[in-house]
Structure 1
Amino acid sequence: MLTIEKFAAIDIGSNAIRLLIATVIEKDGYAPQFKKTSLVRLPIRLGADVFLQGRISEENYKRMLDAMTAFSLIMKNHKVVAYRACATSAMREAKNGNDLAKKLLDTTGVNIQIIDGNDEAAIIASTDLKELIQDNKVFLYVDVGGGSTEFTVFAKGKSVISKSFQLGTVRIINDMIRDTIWDEVKSWIVENTKDYNKLEVIGSGGNINSIYRYSEKKVGKPLSYFFLANFYEKVKDLTYHERIFELQMNPDRADVIVPATRIYLSAMKWSKAKNIYVPKIGLADGIVKQLYNERKANTLEVK
Structure 2
Amino acid sequence: MLSIKKYAAIDIGSNAVRLLISNIIEQKGKPTRFKKNSLVRVPIRLGADVFLKQKISKENERRMLDTMTAFRLLMKSHKVVAYKACATSAMREAENGSKVAKLISEQAQIDIDIIDGEEEAAIIAATDLHSYIDESKTYLYVDVGGGSTEFSVIHLGVKVESKSFKIGTVRLLNDIVNKETWQELESWIKEHTREYDKLDLIGSGGNINKIFKISGKAMGKPLTYFYLSSYYDKLQTYSYEERITELDLNQDRADVIIPATRIYLSAMKWSGAKDIYVPKIGLSDGIIKSMYFKTVSSSSLE
**TM-score, length of structure 2 as denominator length:** 0.96
Quote the Cα distance in structure 2 between the aligned partners of 1:216 and 1:132. 18
Aligned residue number for residue 81 of structure 1:
81
| Matched residue type, 1:285 | D
> 1:176-187 to 2 correspondence within 5 Å?
176-187=176-187
> 1:124-163 to 2 correspondence within 5 Å?
124-163=124-163
Aligned residue number for residue 293 of structure 1:
293
What are the Cα deviations for residues 229-281 of structure 1, in whole angstroms up to 9, with x where unaligned?
00000001111011111111000000000000010001001000000000010
Quote the Cα distance in structure 1 between the aligned partners of 2:192 and 2:126. 22
State yes or no: 1:216 paired with 2:216: yes
Shift, 1:180, TM fit: 1.4
Secondary structure at the counterpart of residue 191 of structure 1: helix
What are the Cα deviations for residues 101-158 of structure 1, in whole angstroms up to 9, with x where unaligned?
0111011110000001111111111112132343321100000000001111111211
Number of aligned residues: 297
| Fraction of identical pairs, as percent | 62
Shift, 1:293, TM fit: 1.6
> 1:184-195 to 2 correspondence within 5 Å?
184-195=184-195
* Kept in 1: contact 2:132–2:220 (CA 8 A): no
Quote the Cα distance in structure 2 between the aligned partners of 1:158 and 1:43. 34
Quote the Cα distance in structure 1 between the aligned partners of 2:166 and 2:27. 43
| Matched residue type, 1:216 | G
Shift, 1:179, TM fit: 2.5
State yes or no: 1:273 paired with 2:273: yes
Quote the Cα distance in structure 1 between the aligned partners of 2:113 and 2:138. 32
Quote the Cα distance in structure 2 between the aligned partners of 1:201 and 1:116. 23
Quote the Cα distance in structure 1 between the aligned partners of 2:111 and 2:128. 26
Q: Which has the higher helix share?
A: 1
Aligned residue number for residue 119 of structure 2:
119
| Matched residue type, 1:20 | L
- Structure 1: gaps of 5 or more residues: 299-303
Quote the Cα distance in structure 1 between the aligned partners of 2:23 and 2:98. 31
Secondary structure at the counterpart of residue 252 of structure 2: helix
Quote the Cα distance in structure 2 between the aligned partners of 1:129 and 1:157. 8
Quote the Cα distance in structure 1 between the aligned partners of 2:179 and 2:269. 20
Quote the Cα distance in structure 2 between the aligned partners of 1:143 and 1:33. 23
Quote the Cα distance in structure 1 between the aligned partners of 2:66 and 2:99. 17
**TM-score, length of structure 1 as denominator length:** 0.96
What stretches of structure 1 move > 3 A for 4+ residues in a row? none
Secondary structure at the counterpart of residue 90 of structure 1: helix
